[in-house]
Chain A
Amino acid sequence: MCSTGFVTSMKDTWGPTDEANGYSLQDIDTDRPPSAPATPITYKATPPPTPIFQPEVKSPKNKPKSPEQPTNPPPPPSPLEDDLRDNEAVVPLQPVEEIKKKVFVYKSRHKTKTRDVTHNRALTPYLGERRKLLLEGQVKPTDGLKPIRSNWKRFKMSWNEAMYSFDVWRGALKKIEGHQGMSVVSYFTFLRWLFLLNFFIFLLIFWVITFFQVAFKATTVYDTDLIGSDSKFNTTIAETCSASYTTNVSSDALTLILDFFQGTGWMEDTAMFNGFYTDKKLELAASNYNMPLAYFLVTVAVMLISLVVMVHNTLSNLKNTVMPKENTSKVNVCNVVFAGLDFNIAQLESMVLKLKSIHLGLVSELQEQRHKKEKKNRTSEEKYKVYTARFFVNFNIILMLGGAGVAIYYAQEFSADFTTQPDVATNYHSLVILLVQFLPSIVIGVLNGAYPVIFGLLGKLEGYCPATAICFQLIRMVFLRLASLVMIVVSLYVQITCSRDLNSCRVGDGNPCAAIQCWETYVGSAFYKLIVFDFIINVAVTLGVEGLRKLISSKCQCSLVKTIAQSEFDLPSNILDLVYSQTLLWIGIYFAPLISAVSVVCYFMIFYVKYLSAMYLTVPPEKPYQASKSNSFFTIILMVAFFVICVPVGYVLSNLEPSPMCGPFRVYSAPADIIRVQIDNASFWFSVIWRVVTSSAFVATLIILLILLVYYCTALKSAHKDMMNDQLKLEGMDKKYLFSRINELGGTPTESVAAERSSGASISIQSETVAAVGT
C-alpha cells in the first residue's frame, strides 16, 4: 500500500459526507481503525490485520446511516462543542471532568463484524459467528492446525504426540497447581523432568553395558582390539591382581542388610559398581562385544545427552522470560497487577492466600519505593553503618563456608580411614560402622539444614531490599551445596591418589594410605551412600518436621502459634536438593552405573512424599517466587553444576590410573586409552582425520570462529534492541505530533493515526502520513 494510495483515499474519505458514513468525533483514540476490513477476519496467531488506511473504507459510504445509533441523552456541554460542526453528535465516553485535554475521539458507527457497535477495534468474533464465517470460507484455521505442508512440521507434531504419553503425573500436577499455585508446580515439573531424564539414562546404561555383562560370558584373552598391536600394556599385573581381589561377604543378616544401604560387602560384586565389569570382550553368538569401549562410550554419551537436554530445556524456558534489566521496579508493578493473578488456582483457601500475597506484594512494593526515596536522603553515617554491616556479614559467611568445607573434608577422610581398616568388622559393632560410613552425609545434611537459617538471619542485617536479599540467600545456598560436593570430591581424590607404601597391586596398608582394593568401586559406593542417605534425610525431614508443624498448627487454637507453626513449601531449598542429587548422579555414573536406577526409584518416591507435603502439610509460600525467573535460574544452576563436575569426570576418564584389580580398564593407564587403541587400529584415513581434528591448530581456529560468532550475535541483539526502542519511541512521537496537528487543523477528522500493532509497514506508512499531513 503506497503512500499516494493512502493520501488519495484519505482525501476521498474525509469530507462533508462523513457524517453520512457514521463517523463522528468523540475522543482521540489512537488505535482505532476506520472500519473493520472487508477482508476475512482470521482468528489466528497474528492478530487480525487492521491496516490503518484501507481503500475499502469507501464501502461505508453505501450504507445508510446506521439505525442503531446510540440513543444517548444529549451530552453535557463540553469544551469540545465549539470545535465541532453542529450536525455531528458528540457522545463523550467519559464524564467531562476526566477529559483533561482537548482530545477528539473518532468512533465508527459502521456495523462491523463484531458484536457491539460501540467497539472500535475489530474484535475477534464469537465462536458461533466464526463458525458461520468458516463455513462461508472467510476464516482461516488457527495457526497450529493448518494443513501441514513440510515434513519437518509433520515430524514435530507426531513427536509431540508421542511425548504426550510421557506426561506422567498430569492429574497430580493439576491438583497441586490448584492448591499451591504455579510457583510450587514448577518444582514438580522440574522433578518430573529429572525423573524422565534419569529413567532414560538408566535404560541406556542397562541395555548397553549391564545386560551384556550379565547375560554373556567373557572371553579369556586380550586381543588387539583391547590392547593394540604393540603391547605396551602390561596385562600380567592385571591378571594376577584380578585373581587376588576379594570382597568381604559376611553371613550375618544384619550386615547383609546394612551392606545394601552402604554399598559394601556383597554389593561390591554386583553390576551396580564399576568393578564388576570385565575388561575383556564378551562372547556373543556371532561376534564379540568390546566391553571397555562400550563402557567408555556410554559414560560419554550420558554426559552429552544430559547436556543437550538441559540446554534445550533452558532455551525453551528462556524464550518466555524476556527480562529487561532497566526499570525493574516499575515493570514489576504492571507485572503484578496484570499478570500476577494465577488463574490456575481452583481452591478457595489457596485463592484467598494468593490474593493476600498479591496485596502484600503491592504494599511492600509501594513501601520499597518510598524507602528508596528515603534512602537517597540517607546520611553518610547511616551509610557507613550499612556498609560495615554488609562487610561483617559477608566475612562471617565466608568463614562459615570455609568451616563447612573443612568439616566435610575431615569427615570423609575419617570415614574412609576408619572403614578400610583391615579388621574393622571384628572390632566394632556393625551399627557403629554404619554410622561412620554415613558420617559425611550426616555432616552435609546438618549443614544444609542449619546454614540457610543462619544465612537468613544474617541477611536481615544487610539492609538490602527484599528481592536482592532473596537473591543473595539463594546464591549462598548454592555455594554451600557446591562447596560440600567439591570437598567430597577433593577428599576422595586425595585418598585415591595416595601413593606411599603401595604393594604391587597398588593397595595401601592402612597407614598413611587407606587400604582400598578397588578404588572405583569404593568411590562408587561413596556416591551411592550419599544419594541413599540424602533421600532418607529428605523424606524424614519432610514427613517429620512438616508433619509435626501441621499437627501443632491444627491442634493449637492460638492464632499466633498457628501462624508461626505453619510451614511453607520451601521452594528454593527443595529445588537445590534436586540439583544436588542430580549432580551426585552425574559424578557417580562412571563409578556406579546402576546408580541411575537408584536415582529413578528415589525420585519416584520423593514425588509422592512431596505431593503429600504440598497438598496436606504446607501452605503456599507467602512471598511468591516469580515462576518464570526461578525456572530459568534453577536450570542455569543445574547447568553450572554440570559444567563444574565435567572437570573431575573428564580428569578421571583421561588421566587417573585405574585400579589393576577390577573394572573394565584395569590394563590401561587411563580409561581413555581404549579410545587411543581403537584409533590406532582404525584405517589410515580415519587416523589422519582424527589427528587433524584434534591438533591444536584446528581447535584454536574453531575457538576463534566460535568467539567471532558469539560476538556477531551479541552485536545483532543489541542492534535489534535499539531498533525496537527507537521504533516504539517514534510511534509515540508520531501519535503526539498527529494529535497536535489535528487540534491545529481545528477538528478536521482524520483517520486513525497510529498503528495498532507496531510493524515495519505501518511505521513507514505513518512516517509518510506525517509527511502528507505536514504538506
Chain B
Amino acid sequence: MGGSQSVFTEQELTDYQELTYFTKKEILHVFKRFQQLNPDAVTKDKNAKLGKDEILELPELKVNPFRDRICQVFSSSKDGNMTFEDFLDMMSVFSDNAPKNVKVEYAFRIYDFDEDDMISSKDLKEVVDKLTGEQQLPEEDMQQLIDNIFEEADLDDDDSLSFAEFEHVISKAPDFVNSFRIRL
C-alpha cells in the first residue's frame, strides 16, 4: 500500500473515515483517482485545488448533464473548483453506503438551479432540458409535464417544491438510490 498511504496520516484517515461513508481503503482509492486528474499539482500538495475543467475530466462526470451543478454544489469555494476534501465528500455522497436521505438532500441541491432552496418551475424546466439532451420538449409538453410534477408533489400549492415535498416524492421513486450513484 506504500505510496498513497504515506500521503495521509493515520489520524487524517480515521477522521475521513468517520466523516464519510468510506473505509480507509476506499479513501485511498478515491485519492488515487483524484491524483490522476492532475498528477503534478496533487503530488506537490495534497490539498491542491483543482479547477472545474480538470474535475470534469473524470469519465463519470464528463458525460453527466448535471456536471456543472454537481461541481457547484460540492465545491467549498462555491466556484466549481474542488479540493480533495470536496472530491471525497462528493464521492462519499454518491457511494453505495450513503443513506438515502443524504442523497436526497444533495439531489435537491443539485436540482435547485437558482439556489433558493425551492425547486420552482424554472428550475424544473432547466432540469428537464438537461435531461432530454439535444432533443427539446415542445412548449405544451413541457408545461403539461411540469403540471404533472406539481400535481404529484406540490402539497401546499405554491408552485414550487420545498425540500420536504421533494423528499416525500423521492421516497416513492424506487430507482433513486440506484441511479444516484457513482462508483469509482
Contact = CB atoms under 8 A, between A and B. Distances in A.
A351 B64 contact: yes
A29 B164 contact: no
B139 interface: no
Nearest to A632: B174
A145 B144 CA distance: 45
> What are the nearest 7 A-B pairs in CB distance?
A355-B133, A141-B18, A339-B176, A351-B63, A127-B89, A335-B173, A628-B174
Interface in B130-183: 131-135, 137, 141, 144-145, 148-149, 151-153, 155-156, 158-159, 162-164, 166-183
Interface string A334-345: 110111111111
Nearest to A141: B18
A115 B167 CA distance: 22
Interface of B: 15-21, 59-60, 62-66, 74, 76, 78, 83, 85-86, 88-89, 92, 94, 97, 99, 101-102, 105, 107, 109, 111, 115-118, 120, 124, 127-128, 131-135, 137, 141, 144-145, 148-149, 151-153, 155-156, 158-159, 162-164, 166-183
Contact of A366 (B83, B97, B101, B144): B144
Given A340-B175, A366-B141, A124 B162 contact: no
Given A334-B152, A346-B60, A359-B132, A339 B158 contact: no
A142 B19 CA distance: 6
A103 B158 contact: yes
Interface string A42-70: 01011100000000000000000000000
Contacts of A739: 156
B63 A728 contact: no
Contact of B63 (A115, A345, A362, A757): A345
Contacts of B101: 45-47
Interface in A554-579: none
A387 B129 CA distance: 40
Nearest to A146: B18
B183 A174 contact: yes
A131 B145 CA distance: 42
B132 A362 contact: yes
A330 B148 contact: yes
A341 B66 contact: yes
Nearest to B175: A339
A43 B102 CA distance: 8
Given A343-B60, A362-B132, A628-B174, A754 B164 contact: yes
Given A330-B151, A345-B64, A355-B133, 16 more contacts: A29-B117, A45-B99, A45-B101, A98-B159, A116-B78, A123-B105, A127-B86, A127-B92, A128-B83, A141-B19, A333-B149, A362-B132, A366-B144, A626-B174, A728-B155, A755-B164
Interface of B is mostly: helix
B63 A340 contact: no
Contacts of A43: 19, 102
A31 interface: yes
Given A94-B120, A115-B78, A356-B135, A131 B144 contact: no
Contact of B20 (A127, A323, A334): A127
Contacts of A1: none
Nearest to B90: A127
Contact of A628 (B65, B102, B178): B178
Contacts of A121: 117, 163
Nearest to B76: A126
B144 A321 contact: no
Contacts of A130: 19
Contacts of B133: 352, 355-356, 358-359
B56 to A, nearest CB: 13
Nearest to A729: B155
B182 A343 contact: yes
B97 A338 contact: no
Contacts of B179: 182, 339-344
A343 B64 contact: yes
Contacts of A120: 117
